[in-house]
Structure 1
Amino acid sequence: MHPHRVRDIADQAGLSQATVDRVLNERPGVRESTAAQVRRAIAELDRQRDQVQLGGRTFRLDLVMQAPVRFTSAVRNALEAELPGLRPAVLRCRFHLREEGSPTELAQVLDAIAHRGSAGVLLKAPDDPAVLDAVERLHELHIPVVTVVTDLPLSRRIGYVGIDNRAAGATAAYLVSRMSDEATTSVLVTLSSSSFRGEEEREIGFRSTMRALAPARTIREVSETDGLDASMLAAVTRALADDPTIGAVYSIGGGNTAIVEAFRRAGRIPAPFIAHDLDGDNTTLLRRQHLTAVLHHDLRADLRQACQLILQAHRALPGRPQSTPSQIQVITPFNQPASP
């Protein structure tokens, strides 16, 4: 049993109350995927239950992200940890998380949110005309959008929350140029997709700084893997076979367990290996010293700021929404932050 009203479950799941009632009462004619959607909605409401006790005005947000599950899980956990602290407002969140898909499909998710209504959207999406048009439609309906991790600077979003991605790429180049040995003539740069503006900005910062600090090094690129382990393993394996001088890695888009495995199969060890974000995989790889350093930013602080921008857009907090870059932290196996 659960303490939630059918109306609240339907709102969380994006389904009709009649459909939710059929699932809850185990009536026939309901697809398993729909029943699973209702179960997920109840679990989300359970995790956010404490927030309801705070009182104040209630805002329903939507988190829309395309990224590997290891990262979306970290973002989801960070957001749910921050929601109770945003008093006196009450913020509830619906989650639309996917590992891969076309920009058109992502735009359809945003249009469905526009149709249903929302107090605001936190968005990580590729910089594509279909997505930009969907953000424009949200703006016309006075639904504020905050981009997270990767920006859509030409869209009508009200702000961006995340690191300065060019500065992050330059930081990675500084570490690689200072830490790799003379035998390393090629550096492997891996992306999940070049359509994500944040990843593109990191690569630009990396390449320009490498040209200044280590102009003799060759940069080899692997892209369009969606950051997924299977596709990353295949792509990096091919790159290592093509270029035996690759000795260092800057991983922009994840899939680092697969990158380590590709090097292991080739009988090589990347040194240095610079990555982004302290998700579950990277925390383990860093502890085992398979990663040299991780460029980290506080996800909880980022998501707190993102929610505050939404509240400012609704004049529930003073001030105008304004983007402020997150602080980049260089994390090694010896200064990992304690788990929350």
Structure 2
Amino acid sequence: MTHRFLIKEIALQAGVGVATVDRVVNNRGSVREQTKKRVEQAIKELEKQELYSLPAGRKLIVDVVVEAPNRFADEIKDALEAEIPTLHPAIFRPRFLMQETMTTTEVVEALRSIAHRGSHGVFLKARDVPEISDTIADLKRSGIPVVTTFTDIPLSGRIAYAGLDNRVAGATAAYLLVQWLGARSGNVLITMSDERFRGEEEREISFRRALRIHHPKLSLIDASGGHGLDAPTENLVKAALKGQSDVLAVYSMGGGNRAILRALDALGIAPKCFIGHDIDRDNVELLREGKIQAILHHELRQDMRSACQHIMHFHKMLPATAVSQSSSVVVVTPENIPAHIAARFRR
């Protein structure tokens, strides 16, 4: 395997032993396929980091552990890598573990592995369950700070949360829906990927509360639990809406919007408005096609910048006053798709 990095540098990036890396790069066998792929990925990450690393500055190894559909995980990765060159005086070297679904045991084992091999910090998107919360506290006791991103685990010992204000997002969705629907009565379909993602739960609670106050004639039909993945989300929507026809609107909190629309179309349902979250390729296309009326967007680069600055502050490289705030809710319609995003996803 051709490479230009020190064995110990690859080992640090991969989170494995020097001897293991030596066996992989010299094709000596006796290495699990998963470990070999991790070493190969580490070399690719080092090659990319080499492009934006400065000749001076403290190197910070950070682990990015994310449970999310690939379309959103890719956006997170791109946002972090775009911010890294701006984060003086630190040189961030991220190690990524991103999966569409992760069990609680898998998340806990990943965090314990990070504690074992060492890290300057963890960016974590995971469910708010006691086992994960306890493991975050263990990392804190071992001197490894955790910043929760996009969905919070507030009682865990994490040093900060970086991401959207989800309560504001839910209230904003309710406000928009009321403006579109006026005095109509009927059903609103809501979907979350998993209610144990606190961010989505906060959106749902705030949305329900606002509708009770401003539009009590609307009833909610819940089709949550599809993890934002197309096939399970589509099936859940079809099951929840069986026998229903008066679905006036959709508030999708957890993604899988193409699947939701397919399920609605199969049932002959055409909602008056569809509100979703996050600007990714699918949602940009759906906005342009007029199938989604609004997306609640937050600037991922700003959120990742804030997360990195919290780690820098923890390591006494940045004063607290220099840490950026997380991004605000932005309502994106087909008429105001941010130019830099539209350019990325141009047909």
- Give the TM-score normalised by structure 1: 0.95
Q: Is the 8 A contact 1:159 1:323 kept in 2?
A: no
The reply on whether 1:289 has 2:290 as its aligned counterpart is yes
2:145 is aligned with what amino acid? P
| Pairwise CA RMSD | 1.7
> 1:124 is matched by which residue type in structure 2?
K
Equivalent position SS for 1:155: coil
- Cα distance in 2, alignment partners of residues 8 and 257 from structure 1: 42
Tell me, yes or no, if the aligned pair for 1:309 and 1:321 is still in contact at 8 Å: no
Equivalent AA in structure 1 for residue 275 of structure 2: I
Alignment of 1:252-263 (within 5 A): 252-263=253-264
Q: Which residue of 2 aligns with 1:38?
A: 39
Q: Distance between the aligned counterparts of 2:286 and 2:50, measured in 1?
A: 34
CA–CA separation in structure 1 for the residues paired with 2:223 and 2:32? 39
1:31-85 Cα shifts (integer Å, max 9, x gaps): 3332222221112112211233341111111111111111111101110111111
Q: Counterpart of 1:214 in structure 2: which amino acid?
A: H
Report 1:43-192 matches (<5 A): 43-180=44-181, 185-192=186-193
When the two structures are aligned, how many residues end up with a matched partner? 340
Q: In the TM superposition, what is the alpha-carbon distance from 1:190 to its structure 2 partner?
A: 0.1
Cα separation, 1, equivalents of 2:322 and 2:193: 30
CA gap of 1:142–1:34, structure 2 versus 1, over 3 A, is closer
Question: How has the CA–CA distance of structure 1 residues 229 and 116 changed in structure 2, closer, same or farther, with 3 Å as cutoff?
Answer: same
Contact 2:295–2:331 under 8 Å retained in 1: yes
- Sort the Cα spacing of 1:104 and 1:260 in 2 relative to 1 into closer, same or farther, 3 A: same
Specify the SS of the correspondent of 1:339: helix
- Hey, what's the Cα distance between the residues in 1 that align with 2:40 and 2:289? 37
> AA paired with 1:216?
K
Q: In structure 2, how many angstroms separate the alpha carbons of the residues matched to 1:88 and 1:102?
A: 36
Distance 1:31 1:313 in 2: 36
Give yes or no for contact 1:66–1:99 (8 Å, CA) kept in 2: yes
Contact kept, 8 Å, 2:124 with 2:148, in 1: the verdict is yes
Residue type at the aligned position of 2:336: N
2:26 match: 25
In the alignment, structure 2 segments of 5+ residues that lack a partner are 342-347
Query: 1:13 maps to which residue?
Result: 14
Tell me which stretches of 4 or more aligned residues in structure 1 moved more than 6 Å: 320-323
**Is the contact between residue 245 and residue 269 of structure 2 (CA under 8 Å) also seen in structure 1?**
no
User: Which residue matches 2:345?
Assistant: none
Q: Displacement of 1:8 after TM fit? A: 1.8
- How far apart are the structure 2 equivalents of 1:306 and 1:14? 22
Shift of 1:323: 8.5
Query: Displacement of 1:329 after TM fit?
Result: 0.3
Partner of 1:275: 276
SS at match of 2:97: strand
The answer to which of 53-62 and 302-311 deviates more is: 53-62
What does residue 230 of structure 2 align with?
229
Q: Is the 8 A contact 2:89 2:317 kept in 1?
A: no
1:214-246 superposed Cα distances (whole Å, 9 cap, x missing partner):
101001111121111110010011122242222
Amino acid at match of 1:205: S
* Per-residue deviation, 1:271: 2.3
Q: Write the distance in 2 (CA, Å) between the matches of 1:89 and 1:170.
A: 37
Partner amino acid, structure 2, of 1:285: L
CA–CA distance in structure 1, aligned partners of residues 114 and 322 of structure 2 = 21
Equivalence for 2:344? none
Question: SS at 1:241's partner residue?
Answer: coil
The answer as to whether partners of 1:68 and 1:226 remain within 8 angstroms in 2 is yes
Q: Which SS does the other structure have where 1:48 is aligned?
A: helix
Counterpart of 1:230, as a letter, is A
- The more displaced of 251-260 and 318-327 is 318-327
Distance of 1:181 and 1:258 partners within structure 2: 27
* CA displacement at 1:104 relative to structure 2: 2.4
Give the TM-score normalised by structure 2. 0.93
Distance (whole Å) between structure 1 residues aligned to residue 217 and residue 268 of structure 2: 25
Q: CA deviation at 1:24?
A: 1.6
CA distance in 2, matches of 1:318, 1:204: 35
Amino acid at match of 2:299: D
Q: How far, CA to CA, are the matches of 2:185 and 2:101 in structure 1?
A: 33
- The code of the aligned residue for 1:126 comes to R
Gap runs ≥5 in structure 1: none
- Indicate the SS of the match to 2:190: strand
Partner Cα distance (2:34, 2:150) in 1: 30
Single out whichever of 82-91 and 303-312 deviates more from structure 2: 82-91
